[in-house]
């Protein structure tokens, strides 16, 4: 059956959104064009009318998935909250991700980082940029807490930001391998205690 004519940008976005779970679950190498065609309802020519290659689509999907993850954390955080509340809101975002993952197949950031490795510099840089944004957001919270006198002055904001990110990503990886939400929740509780003891005054 022929598809009705539609807005080009809407069609492109539809392809991205319907391809997102496939790329996230199977990775770039494991995702076949037939799978994308079946999921989207677009023929191969229609897909390549919007994307230069399968890799071009995969990168667009990663950006979309990354925004889904960012949205969960931003939904919990309120810029008008105190630094303490902002950091606790960030942790609530983590728990929300565990309980209601926006996309199946694990964390897109972790998945792309593992698959890119040293073989694809462009994909590695996409992951790096997302990590830097995440780190800088945490650094701003930590610095504002020090200035407000509610966080300890001797903390290294960059080191602590990376530690929080590494703990979150590591727990997602372990939880995925062990198929255990309970494990991830336990690590979330431990991270909260760490923050209360190491960062809060």
Q: Which helix (H) or strand (E) holds 141?
A: helix 121-148
What average pLDDT is seen over the chain?
Answer: 90
Whether the CB-CB separation of 199 and 87 falls below 8 Å is answered with yes
The phi and psi torsions of 171 (rounded to 5 degrees) equal: -70, -35
Whether the CB-CB separation of 37 and 47 falls below 8 Å is answered with yes
Give CA–CA dist 201/180, Å, rounded. Answer: 33
The confidence score (pLDDT) of residue 7 equals: 87
pLDDT tops 60 at residue 3: no
Residues 153-191 have pLDDT tens digits of: 999 999 999 999 999 999 999 998 999 999 999 999 999
The pTM assigned to this predicted structure is 0.86
The confidence score (pLDDT) of residue 102 equals: 86
The confidence score (pLDDT) of residue 5 equals: 47
Residues 50-74 have pLDDT tens digits of: 999 999 999 999 999 988 888 887 7
Residues 137-156 have pLDDT tens digits of: 999 999 999 999 999 999 99
Residues 69-80 have pLDDT tens digits of: 888 877 766 666
């Amino acid at each position: 059956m022929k598809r009705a004519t539609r807005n080009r940008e809407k069609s492109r976005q539809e392809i991205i959104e319907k391809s997102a779970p496939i790329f996230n679950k199977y990775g770039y190498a494991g995702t076949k064009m037939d799978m994308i065609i079946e999921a989207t309802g677009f023929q191969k020519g229609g897909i390549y009318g919007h994307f230069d290659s399968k890799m071009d689509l995969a990168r667009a999907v990663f950006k979309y998935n990354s925004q889904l993850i960012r949205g969960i954390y931003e939904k919990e955080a309120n810029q008008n909250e105190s630094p303490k509340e902002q950091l606790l809101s960030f942790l609530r975002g983590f728990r929300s991700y565990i309980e209601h993952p926006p996309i199946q197949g694990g964390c897109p950031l972790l998945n792309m980082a593992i698959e890119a490795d040293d073989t694809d510099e462009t994909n590695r840089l996409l992951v790096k940029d997302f990590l830097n944004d995440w780190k800088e957001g945490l650094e701003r919270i930590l610095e504002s807490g020090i200035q407000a006198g509610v966080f300890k002055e001797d903390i290294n904001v960059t080191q602590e930001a990376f530690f929080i990110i590494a703990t979150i990503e590591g727990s997602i990886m372990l939880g995925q391998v062990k198929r255990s939400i309970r494990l991830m929740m336990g690590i979330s509780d431990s991270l909260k205690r760490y923050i209360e003891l190491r960062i809060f005054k």
